[in-house]
Amino acid sequence: MAEDEHIPFSFHPDRWTEKPPQFTSLSQDEVWRYLRQETDSFQQVNRGWAFKEEGYVRDVRWSASDDSQICLVRVICLPSMKKVPYTVSAWFASGTGRIMGGSCSCVAG
């Protein structure tokens, strides 16, 4: 996938699962903290969170780095008025759940 070039570690692209890897800790609080810290405007944060709450986030898939220290979660987001879905990825420390980065295939990134 084109989005994979933004992921700063190696992982097996054919090892996606529907369940998070064992001993993975990722919370909604951590996602909210990351979005507030890394997003340019509060409006973007609210819009992204609303997509999740309204059911536009689908097909959650999980993977891990080769050494299992970093986990990767990827979702498809299909907002109501868009025809082309966005792919959203985030990577985080598997033990602490601290989000380390993310990418989105939407125009805003």
The percentage of the chain sitting over the pLDDT mark of 90, rounded to a whole number, equals 4
Q: What digits encode the pLDDT tens for the residues 16-69?
A: 888 887 777 888 888 888 888 877 767 777 777 788 888 888 899 998 877 878
pLDDT range class, residue 2, cuts 50, 70, 90: very low
Does the pLDDT at position 89 exceed 60? yes
- The rounded mean pLDDT for the chain is 80
Q: Which of 5-9, 51-55, 70-74 has the lowest mean pLDDT?
A: 5-9
CA distance 68 to 19: 15
Instruction: Report angle CA 67, 72, 78 to the nearest 5 degrees.
Output: 165
Mind listing the domains of the chain with CATH numbers? 16-104 (3.10.450)
Does the pLDDT at position 3 exceed 70? no
64 beta partners: 71
The label of the residue with tokens 């050494």 reads 67
The label of the residue with tokens 């059911």 reads 55
Of 80, 75, 70, 76, residue with least CA distance to 100: 70
pLDDT at residue 98, as a whole number:
92
CA atoms within a 13 Å half-sphere pointing along the CA-CB vector of 74? 21
CA distance 71 to 21: 8
73 beta partners: 62, 90
